[in-house]
Structure 1
Amino acid sequence: MDSLVGMKIDIEMLKSVLGQSLKVGTVAKLDADKGYRIALGEDDDGDEFLSPWMPHPETSKSSVPLEEGQTVGIIAPSGDLSQGVLIRGGYSKGKESPNSDLAANVFKDAGVTVTVKSGALRIETNGVTVVISGSGFAVEGGGVTHNGVNIGDDHKHTDVVAGPDLTGPPQG
Protein backbone atom coordinates (compact mmCIF):
# COMPACT_ATOMS: atom_id res chain seq x y z
CA MET A 1 0.00 0.00 0.00
CA ASP A 2 2.87 2.40 0.79
CA SER A 3 4.29 1.88 -2.70
CA LEU A 4 0.92 2.74 -4.24
CA VAL A 5 0.76 5.98 -2.22
CA GLY A 6 4.37 6.72 -3.23
CA MET A 7 3.55 6.22 -6.91
CA LYS A 8 0.49 8.48 -6.61
CA ILE A 9 2.67 11.21 -5.06
CA ASP A 10 5.26 10.75 -7.83
CA ILE A 11 2.56 11.01 -10.51
CA GLU A 12 1.14 14.19 -8.96
CA MET A 13 4.63 15.72 -8.76
CA LEU A 14 5.30 14.83 -12.41
CA LYS A 15 1.98 16.35 -13.46
CA SER A 16 2.86 19.53 -11.58
CA VAL A 17 6.34 19.82 -13.15
CA LEU A 18 4.96 18.99 -16.61
CA GLY A 19 2.28 21.64 -16.19
CA GLN A 20 4.97 24.21 -15.32
CA SER A 21 7.41 23.16 -18.06
CA LEU A 22 5.73 25.13 -20.85
CA LYS A 23 3.97 28.42 -20.33
CA VAL A 24 2.50 30.65 -23.03
CA GLY A 25 1.88 34.36 -22.54
CA THR A 26 2.49 37.80 -23.98
CA VAL A 27 5.37 40.23 -23.52
CA ALA A 28 4.33 42.64 -20.76
CA LYS A 29 7.55 44.47 -19.87
CA LEU A 30 10.69 45.19 -21.89
CA ASP A 31 14.14 46.26 -20.71
CA ALA A 32 17.21 46.48 -22.95
CA ASP A 33 19.47 45.04 -20.24
CA LYS A 34 17.15 42.69 -18.32
CA GLY A 35 15.11 41.31 -21.23
CA TYR A 36 11.39 40.60 -20.93
CA ARG A 37 8.70 39.81 -18.37
CA ILE A 38 5.85 37.71 -19.66
CA ALA A 39 2.20 38.00 -18.60
CA LEU A 40 1.13 34.48 -17.64
CA GLY A 41 -2.36 35.14 -16.30
CA GLU A 42 -3.62 36.51 -13.00
CA ASP A 43 -2.69 35.80 -9.40
CA ASP A 44 -5.19 35.02 -6.61
CA ASP A 45 -5.91 38.75 -6.17
CA GLY A 46 -6.70 39.24 -9.87
CA ASP A 47 -3.45 41.10 -10.53
CA GLU A 48 -1.32 40.31 -13.57
CA PHE A 49 1.10 37.43 -12.87
CA LEU A 50 4.47 38.12 -14.51
CA SER A 51 7.38 35.79 -15.16
CA PRO A 52 10.82 36.60 -13.82
CA TRP A 53 12.99 38.62 -16.22
CA MET A 54 13.85 36.42 -19.21
CA PRO A 55 16.91 37.09 -21.43
CA HIS A 56 16.56 38.05 -25.09
CA PRO A 57 15.82 34.98 -27.29
CA GLU A 58 18.48 35.88 -29.85
CA THR A 59 21.82 34.81 -31.19
CA SER A 60 24.95 36.89 -31.50
CA LYS A 61 24.27 37.06 -35.26
CA SER A 62 20.98 38.97 -35.18
CA SER A 63 18.82 41.17 -33.03
CA VAL A 64 15.07 41.35 -33.55
CA PRO A 65 13.64 42.52 -30.22
CA LEU A 66 10.25 41.27 -29.09
CA GLU A 67 7.40 43.76 -28.86
CA GLU A 68 4.93 44.37 -26.06
CA GLY A 69 1.90 42.12 -26.58
CA GLN A 70 3.78 39.57 -28.71
CA THR A 71 2.98 35.93 -27.96
CA VAL A 72 5.88 33.90 -26.53
CA GLY A 73 6.49 30.68 -24.66
CA ILE A 74 8.74 29.74 -21.77
CA ILE A 75 10.21 26.24 -21.70
CA ALA A 76 11.27 25.31 -18.18
CA PRO A 77 11.90 21.52 -17.95
CA SER A 78 12.37 21.68 -14.17
CA GLY A 79 9.19 23.73 -13.73
CA ASP A 80 11.25 26.67 -12.40
CA LEU A 81 10.52 29.63 -14.70
CA SER A 82 13.71 31.42 -13.61
CA GLN A 83 15.65 28.57 -15.27
CA GLY A 84 13.49 28.64 -18.40
CA VAL A 85 14.22 29.59 -21.98
CA LEU A 86 12.11 32.16 -23.83
CA ILE A 87 10.91 31.19 -27.31
CA ARG A 88 9.12 33.28 -29.90
CA GLY A 89 5.47 32.40 -30.40
CA GLY A 90 3.12 32.80 -33.30
CA TYR A 91 1.27 35.83 -34.52
CA SER A 92 -1.74 37.15 -32.65
CA LYS A 93 -4.35 39.89 -32.80
CA GLY A 94 -2.56 43.20 -33.10
CA LYS A 95 0.69 41.40 -33.98
CA GLU A 96 -0.22 39.97 -37.38
CA SER A 97 2.24 38.51 -39.87
CA PRO A 98 3.76 41.04 -42.30
CA ASN A 99 3.50 38.36 -44.97
CA SER A 100 0.65 36.52 -46.69
CA ASP A 101 2.89 34.90 -49.33
CA LEU A 102 4.22 31.58 -48.01
CA ALA A 103 6.84 31.50 -50.79
CA ALA A 104 8.49 34.68 -49.47
CA ASN A 105 10.57 35.56 -46.42
CA VAL A 106 9.56 39.00 -45.15
CA PHE A 107 11.08 41.21 -42.47
CA LYS A 108 9.17 44.38 -41.60
CA ASP A 109 10.27 46.80 -38.91
CA ALA A 110 10.93 50.51 -38.33
CA GLY A 111 9.32 51.55 -41.63
CA VAL A 112 11.39 49.16 -43.76
CA THR A 113 10.17 45.99 -45.51
CA VAL A 114 12.69 43.45 -46.81
CA THR A 115 11.36 40.62 -48.98
CA VAL A 116 13.31 37.66 -50.32
CA LYS A 117 11.49 35.63 -52.96
CA SER A 118 12.36 33.66 -56.08
CA GLY A 119 16.03 34.71 -56.08
CA ALA A 120 15.27 38.40 -55.62
CA LEU A 121 15.81 40.84 -52.77
CA ARG A 122 13.33 43.73 -52.46
CA ILE A 123 13.76 46.60 -49.98
CA GLU A 124 10.98 49.18 -49.52
CA THR A 125 10.96 52.32 -47.38
CA ASN A 126 9.33 55.76 -47.59
CA GLY A 127 8.25 55.39 -51.23
CA VAL A 128 11.61 54.03 -52.43
CA THR A 129 11.95 50.45 -53.70
CA VAL A 130 15.23 48.71 -54.49
CA VAL A 131 15.21 45.30 -56.21
CA ILE A 132 18.28 43.12 -56.75
CA SER A 133 17.67 40.05 -58.90
CA GLY A 134 19.04 38.05 -61.79
CA SER A 135 17.69 40.81 -64.04
CA GLY A 136 19.94 43.39 -62.36
CA PHE A 137 19.54 46.28 -59.96
CA ALA A 138 16.46 48.54 -60.05
CA VAL A 139 15.49 51.61 -58.04
CA GLU A 140 12.02 53.14 -58.08
CA GLY A 141 11.30 56.47 -56.38
CA GLY A 142 13.70 58.75 -54.57
CA GLY A 143 17.07 59.84 -55.93
CA VAL A 144 20.17 57.83 -56.81
CA THR A 145 23.69 59.01 -55.98
CA HIS A 146 27.15 57.49 -56.22
CA ASN A 147 29.92 59.02 -54.10
CA GLY A 148 27.66 62.03 -53.56
CA VAL A 149 27.02 62.61 -57.29
CA ASN A 150 23.47 62.44 -58.67
CA ILE A 151 23.23 59.57 -61.18
CA GLY A 152 19.43 59.35 -61.14
CA ASP A 153 17.06 59.87 -64.05
CA ASP A 154 17.24 63.66 -63.59
CA HIS A 155 21.04 64.05 -63.49
CA LYS A 156 22.93 66.49 -65.74
CA HIS A 157 26.16 65.89 -67.65
CA THR A 158 29.16 68.16 -68.14
CA ASP A 159 30.88 68.91 -71.45
CA VAL A 160 27.75 68.38 -73.58
CA VAL A 161 28.40 68.89 -77.30
CA ALA A 162 25.67 68.52 -79.94
CA GLY A 163 26.09 65.67 -82.39
CA PRO A 164 27.57 62.20 -82.07
CA ASP A 165 30.18 63.06 -79.39
CA LEU A 166 29.98 61.50 -75.92
CA THR A 167 29.30 63.66 -72.90
CA GLY A 168 31.46 64.09 -69.86
CA PRO A 169 30.74 62.49 -66.48
CA PRO A 170 27.59 63.30 -64.47
CA GLN A 171 27.69 66.77 -62.94
CA GLY A 172 28.62 66.81 -59.25
Structure 2
Amino acid sequence: MKELIQAALAEVNVCLPGVIVAYDGKTATVRPAMPKQLANGQTLVAPQIVQVPVCWPIADGGRAMVTVPLKPGDPVKLNFSQRSLENWLSGSDQAPDDPRQFDLSDCFATPVMRPGPVADTENVCIQYGPGTIKLAPSGDLTINVPTMTVNAQQTTYNSPVTVNGLLTYTMGMQGSGGEGSSISITGGAQFEGGALTHNGKNIGSDHKHGGVVAGGDESDVPV
Protein backbone atom coordinates (compact mmCIF):
# COMPACT_ATOMS: atom_id res chain seq x y z
CA MET A 1 0.00 0.00 0.00
CA LYS A 2 2.83 2.39 0.90
CA GLU A 3 4.55 1.73 -2.43
CA LEU A 4 1.28 2.31 -4.27
CA ILE A 5 0.77 5.67 -2.51
CA GLN A 6 4.34 6.74 -3.21
CA ALA A 7 3.99 5.80 -6.88
CA ALA A 8 0.80 7.86 -7.15
CA LEU A 9 2.33 10.85 -5.37
CA ALA A 10 5.37 10.73 -7.64
CA GLU A 11 3.14 11.88 -10.50
CA VAL A 12 1.54 14.73 -8.54
CA ASN A 13 2.99 18.18 -9.19
CA VAL A 14 2.16 20.88 -6.64
CA CYS A 15 4.82 23.58 -6.46
CA LEU A 16 8.37 23.78 -7.78
CA PRO A 17 11.08 26.38 -8.31
CA GLY A 18 11.42 27.13 -11.99
CA VAL A 19 13.54 29.03 -14.49
CA ILE A 20 12.47 31.28 -17.36
CA VAL A 21 13.56 30.01 -20.78
CA ALA A 22 11.67 32.60 -22.86
CA TYR A 23 9.04 35.26 -22.15
CA ASP A 24 6.91 37.31 -24.56
CA GLY A 25 5.21 39.59 -22.02
CA LYS A 26 2.20 37.30 -21.55
CA THR A 27 3.22 33.65 -21.40
CA ALA A 28 6.56 31.99 -20.80
CA THR A 29 8.48 28.86 -21.61
CA VAL A 30 9.83 27.54 -18.32
CA ARG A 31 11.53 24.50 -16.92
CA PRO A 32 11.54 23.16 -13.36
CA ALA A 33 14.84 24.05 -11.74
CA MET A 34 15.38 20.52 -10.39
CA PRO A 35 15.39 17.18 -12.21
CA LYS A 36 12.99 14.45 -11.18
CA GLN A 37 14.37 11.54 -9.18
CA LEU A 38 12.97 8.13 -10.09
CA ALA A 39 12.30 5.29 -7.67
CA ASN A 40 15.39 3.41 -8.90
CA GLY A 41 17.61 6.37 -8.01
CA GLN A 42 18.04 7.67 -11.54
CA THR A 43 17.27 11.29 -12.38
CA LEU A 44 15.09 12.53 -15.21
CA VAL A 45 15.92 15.89 -16.79
CA ALA A 46 13.06 18.34 -16.24
CA PRO A 47 11.16 19.07 -19.47
CA GLN A 48 10.41 22.55 -20.75
CA ILE A 49 6.81 23.69 -20.27
CA VAL A 50 5.42 26.04 -22.92
CA GLN A 51 2.70 28.71 -22.87
CA VAL A 52 2.80 29.07 -19.11
CA PRO A 53 0.68 32.02 -17.86
CA VAL A 54 2.78 34.50 -15.87
CA CYS A 55 0.84 35.93 -12.92
CA TRP A 56 1.25 39.52 -11.68
CA PRO A 57 -0.56 41.60 -9.03
CA ILE A 58 -3.45 43.00 -11.11
CA ALA A 59 -6.67 44.73 -10.02
CA ASP A 60 -9.43 47.06 -11.24
CA GLY A 61 -9.91 45.24 -14.50
CA GLY A 62 -6.22 45.48 -15.39
CA ARG A 63 -5.89 49.24 -14.77
CA ALA A 64 -3.74 48.64 -11.67
CA MET A 65 -0.70 46.45 -12.24
CA VAL A 66 2.81 45.77 -10.94
CA THR A 67 5.24 43.99 -13.27
CA VAL A 68 8.98 43.47 -13.66
CA PRO A 69 10.97 42.52 -16.77
CA LEU A 70 11.73 38.81 -17.02
CA LYS A 71 14.82 37.48 -18.78
CA PRO A 72 15.99 33.92 -19.56
CA GLY A 73 17.48 32.41 -16.43
CA ASP A 74 15.31 34.39 -14.01
CA PRO A 75 13.82 32.28 -11.20
CA VAL A 76 10.07 31.85 -10.82
CA LYS A 77 7.73 29.80 -8.66
CA LEU A 78 5.73 27.17 -10.55
CA ASN A 79 2.28 26.23 -9.24
CA PHE A 80 0.35 23.35 -10.79
CA SER A 81 -3.43 23.45 -10.96
CA GLN A 82 -5.47 20.56 -9.61
CA ARG A 83 -7.69 20.84 -12.70
CA SER A 84 -7.06 21.26 -16.42
CA LEU A 85 -6.70 24.94 -17.33
CA GLU A 86 -7.29 24.81 -21.08
CA ASN A 87 -10.92 25.95 -21.00
CA TRP A 88 -10.28 28.54 -18.30
CA LEU A 89 -7.38 30.10 -20.20
CA SER A 90 -9.63 30.42 -23.26
CA GLY A 91 -12.10 32.47 -21.19
CA SER A 92 -14.54 29.79 -20.02
CA ASP A 93 -15.44 29.05 -16.39
CA GLN A 94 -17.10 25.77 -17.30
CA ALA A 95 -15.90 22.40 -16.03
CA PRO A 96 -12.72 21.22 -17.78
CA ASP A 97 -13.02 18.66 -20.56
CA ASP A 98 -9.90 16.78 -19.47
CA PRO A 99 -9.90 14.96 -16.10
CA ARG A 100 -6.15 15.36 -15.56
CA GLN A 101 -4.97 16.72 -12.19
CA PHE A 102 -1.72 18.41 -11.06
CA ASP A 103 -0.28 17.99 -14.52
CA LEU A 104 2.91 19.73 -15.69
CA SER A 105 0.96 21.33 -18.53
CA ASP A 106 -1.41 23.11 -16.11
CA CYS A 107 1.21 25.43 -14.71
CA PHE A 108 1.30 29.02 -13.44
CA ALA A 109 4.53 30.98 -13.09
CA THR A 110 4.87 33.62 -10.38
CA PRO A 111 7.90 35.93 -10.48
CA VAL A 112 10.25 36.31 -8.82
CA MET A 113 10.92 33.79 -6.09
CA ARG A 114 14.40 32.89 -4.91
CA PRO A 115 16.01 33.20 -1.48
CA GLY A 116 19.34 34.96 -1.20
CA PRO A 117 19.21 38.68 -2.05
CA VAL A 118 19.86 40.93 0.94
CA ALA A 119 16.64 42.82 1.66
CA ASP A 120 16.16 46.22 3.27
CA THR A 121 14.86 45.31 6.74
CA GLU A 122 13.71 48.85 7.63
CA ASN A 123 12.02 50.33 4.55
CA VAL A 124 9.69 49.38 1.71
CA CYS A 125 12.16 49.26 -1.17
CA ILE A 126 11.88 49.02 -4.96
CA GLN A 127 15.17 48.56 -6.81
CA TYR A 128 16.12 48.13 -10.45
CA GLY A 129 19.77 48.52 -11.43
CA PRO A 130 21.14 51.72 -9.85
CA GLY A 131 17.66 53.13 -9.16
CA THR A 132 15.94 52.78 -5.79
CA ILE A 133 12.72 54.04 -4.23
CA LYS A 134 12.49 53.75 -0.44
CA LEU A 135 9.52 54.45 1.81
CA ALA A 136 10.48 54.74 5.48
CA PRO A 137 8.21 53.91 8.44
CA SER A 138 7.99 57.67 9.08
CA GLY A 139 6.40 58.11 5.65
CA ASP A 140 9.50 59.79 4.19
CA LEU A 141 10.13 58.89 0.55
CA THR A 142 13.64 58.79 -0.94
CA ILE A 143 14.23 58.35 -4.68
CA ASN A 144 17.74 57.69 -5.98
CA VAL A 145 17.91 57.55 -9.79
CA PRO A 146 20.39 58.74 -12.42
CA THR A 147 17.65 60.64 -14.32
CA MET A 148 13.98 61.21 -13.53
CA THR A 149 11.39 62.21 -16.13
CA VAL A 150 7.84 63.15 -15.12
CA ASN A 151 5.19 63.33 -17.84
CA ALA A 152 2.06 64.86 -16.34
CA GLN A 153 -0.59 67.34 -17.45
CA GLN A 154 -0.06 69.20 -14.18
CA THR A 155 2.11 68.74 -11.11
CA THR A 156 1.13 70.36 -7.80
CA TYR A 157 3.32 70.66 -4.69
CA ASN A 158 1.47 71.63 -1.51
CA SER A 159 4.66 72.14 0.46
CA PRO A 160 7.88 74.16 0.41
CA VAL A 161 10.29 72.98 -2.29
CA THR A 162 14.09 73.10 -1.95
CA VAL A 163 16.28 72.70 -5.03
CA ASN A 164 19.93 71.96 -4.19
CA GLY A 165 21.04 71.62 -7.81
CA LEU A 166 20.72 73.71 -10.95
CA LEU A 167 17.13 74.72 -11.76
CA THR A 168 16.49 75.01 -15.50
CA TYR A 169 13.17 75.83 -17.15
CA THR A 170 12.32 76.04 -20.83
CA MET A 171 8.68 77.19 -20.95
CA GLY A 172 8.83 80.28 -18.73
CA MET A 173 8.07 80.71 -15.06
CA GLN A 174 5.30 82.59 -13.32
CA GLY A 175 3.76 82.93 -9.87
CA SER A 176 1.32 85.04 -7.91
CA GLY A 177 -0.32 85.54 -4.52
CA GLY A 178 0.47 84.00 -1.22
CA GLU A 179 2.09 85.33 1.92
CA GLY A 180 5.52 86.82 1.28
CA SER A 181 4.96 86.71 -2.46
CA SER A 182 8.05 88.80 -3.24
CA ILE A 183 11.13 87.11 -4.68
CA SER A 184 14.36 87.28 -2.69
CA ILE A 185 17.64 86.43 -4.41
CA THR A 186 20.91 86.14 -2.50
CA GLY A 187 23.86 86.50 -4.83
CA GLY A 188 24.03 87.78 -8.37
CA ALA A 189 21.34 87.39 -11.02
CA GLN A 190 22.05 87.34 -14.73
CA PHE A 191 19.41 87.85 -17.43
CA GLU A 192 20.18 87.14 -21.09
CA GLY A 193 17.93 87.71 -24.09
CA GLY A 194 14.48 89.27 -24.18
CA ALA A 195 13.17 92.31 -22.36
CA LEU A 196 13.09 92.65 -18.59
CA THR A 197 9.79 94.26 -17.61
CA HIS A 198 8.04 95.45 -14.45
CA ASN A 199 4.28 96.04 -14.54
CA GLY A 200 4.49 96.06 -18.33
CA LYS A 201 7.35 98.61 -18.45
CA ASN A 202 10.76 97.85 -19.85
CA ILE A 203 13.45 98.00 -17.15
CA GLY A 204 16.12 96.16 -19.11
CA SER A 205 19.56 97.35 -20.21
CA ASP A 206 18.12 99.30 -23.17
CA HIS A 207 15.71 101.24 -20.95
CA LYS A 208 16.42 105.02 -20.75
CA HIS A 209 15.04 107.69 -18.41
CA GLY A 210 13.66 110.67 -20.32
CA GLY A 211 14.97 114.14 -19.38
CA VAL A 212 18.32 112.95 -18.00
CA VAL A 213 21.29 114.94 -19.35
CA ALA A 214 24.28 112.84 -20.37
CA GLY A 215 26.93 112.97 -17.66
CA GLY A 216 24.52 114.64 -15.26
CA ASP A 217 22.32 113.51 -12.43
CA GLU A 218 18.74 114.10 -11.43
CA SER A 219 19.57 117.68 -10.44
CA ASP A 220 20.24 118.39 -14.13
CA VAL A 221 16.63 117.70 -15.06
CA PRO A 222 14.71 120.96 -15.56
CA VAL A 223 11.62 121.35 -13.38
Give the 3-state SS of the residue equivalent to 1:35 in structure 2: strand
Taking only aligned residues, the RMSD between alpha carbons, in angstroms, comes to 4.3
TM-score (norm 2): 0.47
Counterparts of 1:19-58 in structure 2, within 5 Å, are 20-41=13-34, 49-58=47-56
Superposition deviation, residue 10 in structure 1: 4.2
Partner of residue 4, structure 2: 9
Whole-angstrom CA distance in 2 between matches of 1:141 and 1:126:
14
TM-score by length of 1: 0.58
Q: Is the 8 A contact 1:36 1:55 kept in 2?
A: no
What is the aligned counterpart of 1:149 among 172, 181, 190? 172
Equivalent residue, structure 1, for 2:104: 81
Cα gap change, 1:35/1:140 in structure 2, threshold over 3 Å: closer, same or farther?
farther
* Structure that is richer in strand per residue: 1
Q: Does 1:123 align with 2:116?
A: no
Give the number of the structure whose residues are more often helix, by fraction. 1
Q: Percent identity?
A: 16
Aligned length: 145
CA distance in 2, matches of 1:70, 1:138: 41
Residue identity in the other structure for 2:33? L
Q: Quick check: 1:40–1:49 contact (8 Å CA) kept in 2? A: no
Change (3 A) 1:15 1:50: closer
- CA distance in structure 2 between the aligned counterparts of 1:14 and 1:42, rounded to whole angstroms: 16
Where does residue 90 of structure 1 map in the other structure? 114
Tell me the SS of whatever aligns to 2:51: coil
Q: Cα distance 1:48–1:143, how it changes in 2: closer, same or farther (>3 A)?
A: farther
Q: Which has the larger radius of gyration?
A: 2
1:66 maps onto 2:64 in alignment: no
Q: Secondary structure at the match of 1:9?
A: helix
Q: Secondary structure at the match of 1:126?
A: coil
Equivalent pair of 1:143/1:150 in contact (CA under 8 Å): no
Long gaps (5+) in structure 1: 129-134, 161-172
- In structure 2, do the counterparts of structure 1 residues 74 and 48 end up closer, same or farther at CA, with 3 Å as the change threshold? closer
Q: Deviations over 1:55-82 (max 9, x none)?
A: 2221232222333322211111432122
Equivalent-residue separation in structure 1 for 2:9 and 2:79 (angstroms): 16
CA contact (8 A) 1:70 1:91 kept: no
